[in-house]
Amino acid sequence: MTALLRRDLKLAVRAGGGFGLGLAFFLIVTVLVPFGVGPQSELLSRIAPGILWLGALLACLLSLDRLLALDWEDGTLDLLATSPLPLEAALGIKALAHWITTGLPLVLAVPVLGILLNLPAQGYGWLVLSLLLGTPALSVIGTFGAALTVGVKRGGLLMSLLVLPLYVPTLIFGAEAARRGATGMDPLTPLLMLSGITAGVVAIMPFASAAALRVNLR
């Protein structure tokens, strides 16, 4: 398991792995928002938590089609399916690797981008905390979408259509927690709901992903 994790991390960080792409995309989205809605700082600071959550979600989505597609093409997935490691565990590890290379950098970058959007000072901690709790769910749900569409040629758009509705609960609770944190309200309830979703999804979704991948590998 650790070998698989190390391999995925190495592949992601080395050339062509697209490690920084998600981060760069997040930065560009954040920069483009003020061009779209205008530079008034009170407007920006009001929508900043939602925009940052949405940007992180899209950056996660963007890197999903690399998650399984390359391993599918060169046959690594067939090897994983026949290895003694259960496919559920392998997909869990892959989701973890995706989170470490995509979700975690986003969480770490978000305070810097918060400055660009004039996020209120009290909101930083809650925003980082909510993203830290929520992005693992995005990776795990995304792995399911990738497993469903791995057999489809050019399935990237299709995967977005399948995955985005599944992201709705995570986005609602995550952005709500960040918004309440930024406006000085008590963000505990949405944070708890968000952690509940993440925990449930991490526990259950690898089984659904493995079921879908087995069908595709048949």
Partner 1 sequence: MSMTEDTATPKRPSGFWSYANPVKFLGLSERVLPALWGLAALSLIVGLIWGFFFTPDDFRQGSTVKIIYLHVPSAMMAINAWVMMLVASLIWLIRRHHVSALAAKAAAPVGVVMTLIALCTGAIWGQPMWGDWWAWDPRLTSFLILFLFYLGYIALWEAIEDPDTAADLTSVLCLVGSVFAVLSRYAVNFWNQGLHQGASLSLDKEENVADVFYFPLLVCIAGFVLLFLALVLYRTGTEIRLRRTRALQAREARL
Which residues here bind partner 1, judged by CB under 8 A? 144, 148-149, 151-152, 155, 158, 161-162, 164-166, 168-169, 172-173, 176, 179-180, 190, 193, 197, 205, 208, 211-212, 215-216, 218
- Smallest separation, CB 87 to partner 1 (Å): 14
Euclidean distance between CA atoms 47 and 199, whole angstroms: 27
- Smallest separation, CB 178 to partner 1 (Å): 12
Nearest CB to partner 1, comparing residues 8 and 176: 176
Euclidean distance between CA atoms 77 and 214, whole angstroms: 10
CA distances from 158 to 22, 71, 161 (A): 19, 19, 5
Nearest CB to partner 1, comparing residues 72 and 173: 173
- Smallest separation, CB 142 to partner 1 (Å): 13
Cβ atoms within 10 A of the Cβ of 211, count?
14
- Smallest separation, CB 72 to partner 1 (Å): 14
Euclidean distance between CA atoms 213 and 68, whole angstroms: 10
Nearest CB to partner 1, comparing residues 114 and 155: 155
Nearest CB to partner 1, comparing residues 111 and 151: 151
Q: Which amino acid is at 94?
A: K
Rounded to a whole number of angstroms, the distance between the first and last alpha carbons of the chain is: 23
Token readout for 23 is 């981060």
Contact 122, 30 (CB under 8 A): no
Nearest CB to partner 1, comparing residues 43 and 162: 162
Cβ atoms within 10 A of the Cβ of 7, count?
14
- Smallest separation, CB 186 to partner 1 (Å): 12
